[in-house]
Amino acid sequence: MAIPYSGTFTRSGGLVSALGKQIKLINLKPVKKVDISFDPFHANATAVRDLLFYISGPKVIRTNPNCRIKTNIVTDRSEPFIKLDLTTNGIINLKAGNLTTLELLQLFNKHVSSLVKPEEETENVVRTKSSKPSKQTKRK
C-alpha cells in the first residue's frame, strides 16, 4: 500500500516552531497596560502563564518599555482572563479558559501586533571608491 501524496514532501516544523514564529511577531507598541488574571489551580491556567512568560521577555519588553504588565492571581476557580488597554483608547478582553498557548499568541498578534505600523526604511547610500571623485579630477 502506497502513502498518498499530500502536496508536500517536507514535514512542518511542529508546535515548537509555530510558537517561536508567533513569539517573534509580538509587539507591545500599541499597548499601554496588560492585566492578566488567573487562578493557578484552574485546569487551563498553564496557557496564560506561558503567555505571561513570553510577554515579559526582554526582547518583547524592549518593543514598549512604558507598557505595564500586571498579574492578578486569584483563588476563586475563575477562568483565566486577559485585558489589554490600547493607546488608541481601546480595550481588548480575552477569555482564555479553553485556549492553548499557540491560540493565545495568535490572537494577541492578530489584535495587537497588527496595529503596529511598519517602520520606514531609510536608504543608506554606500559610497565606493569608484563613486568618489578622484584626486586627479580635482586638480584639473
- Domains in the chain and their CATH numbers? 17-115 (3.40.30.10)
What does pTM read for this prediction?
A: 0.73
Consecutive 10-residue averages of pLDDT for the chain (140 residues): 59 81 91 94 91 93 93 92 91 91 92 80 68 62
pLDDT tens digits, residue range 92-131? 999 998 999 999 999 999 998 888 877 766 666 676 766 6
Q: What is the dihedral of CA 85, 87, 89, 93, to 10 degrees?
A: -20
pLDDT at 132: 64
